[in-house]
Amino acid sequence: MSAKAPPPLQGVKVIDLTRHMSGPYATVSLGDFGADVIKVEPSKGGDASRSTGVRVQDKISASFLMWNRSKRSIALDLYDEEAKALIRRLAADADVFVENFRPGVIKKMGLDYETLSAINPRLIYVSLSAFGEGPLGPFPGTDPVVQAMSGVMSVTGEADGGPLLVGIPIADFTAAMVTFQGVLLGLLSRATTGRGQKIEISMLHALLSALTTRLASHWATGREPVRNGGAHSVVMPYQAWKTADGYAVAGVWNGGNVMWPRFCKALGVAGLSDEAAYATNELRLQNKAQLEPILADEFRKRTTAEWERRFNQEGVLFSPVNTFSQILSHPHVAQADILASLDHPDLGELPQINPPIRLCDTPGRLDRYPPRLGEHSREILAEAGLSDTEIDTLIDTGVVTTAS
């Protein structure tokens, strides 16, 4: 990156009072593109995700390391009024403040939008919660609860089985990306109006916005969507198939039906594309019970690699169902510069994913490892104008904690 092309969010100061995944993963994206993200953590244990799940070298949560690069950490006793006053002081010249407590909690802390915007009218203030304001607002919710509440679990799983969680934290991830967008929109608006504003985001609302095809079909027909296992809900064929040695996804898309004859040719059943009962996507959906076993029998005759060659030759939608190890070692992932790493002083090299938004002149970059708890407490308070003596006193009284 040249000196003439600083990252797009350079100079943007973010106070990050979020925990777990949805909030921290949103602020990771801000930090990757140059924002100075100050992660405010409770002194005792820090963000709870530091100790949740699998640990790296029995020291710190692997999830925390994924969700908290590109940040600085200050550790405070959040029950102490002096600590809350310090947060207000940090927010006085910040550009963005992000919190993900349940509605009402942040007001009791004296860190609500009305309080902070009175101190800093240019502040972009983001409130992220599981459900937002409303009857569900007071109740706790993380990814599995929101998957269940949103209806996503009701359409995930096999037709004859029970509802299943999506295999990734889809509610957290969706909310994180919507939060990232919200911050950028807030900054863009402020550039025009000169004023900050409050941005409210709920994980439930964000995940409902991702229902797309399932919700469109429900509204069009009035029917409840059902679980389809590995099959697409509105296109046939387009699903996971058992091969001779594994699984693959293959199918057509409904753009003019041009792929159906090519699909049949790749599968070695070219004559099937001429049968009137399967001539259109609508007919194939209607006759799925007859068509699906025919196709499934063919897929079991060859290996996944053989099918990949045949379907790619015909330009038909296809992918092996890869394990994590398989996709991470795939030559495309290497050539597309998707993987990255960071050096951590305690843990060594940490694998990471590069920012997925690729800007040719002002790309994101990974240049700050996930911080130790309170690693930057001193420097952050010094930047806020506190003297060494004042900082020492805050540390001695337990209001502030440092990594040492």
Q: Please identify every residue annotated as catalytic.
A: 172
**Identity (one letter) of the amino acid at 259?**
M
Angle (deg, nearest 10), helices 170-193 and 143-150:
90
On whether the CB atoms of residues 17 and 111 are closer than 8 A, the answer is yes
* Nearest residue to 177 (alpha-carbon basis) of 369, 59, 27, 321: 27
* Nearest residue to 16 (alpha-carbon basis) of 128, 104, 136: 128
Angle (deg, nearest 10), helices 259-267 and 304-314:
140
Q: Rounded CA gap, 229 and 227, in Å?
A: 6
Q: Rounded CA gap, 143 and 23, in Å?
A: 12
Q: Rounded CA gap, 63 and 66, in Å?
A: 5
> Which residue do the tokens 């006085």 mark?
92
* Nearest residue to 92 (alpha-carbon basis) of 67, 125, 70, 69: 125
On whether the CB atoms of residues 99 and 128 are closer than 8 A, the answer is yes
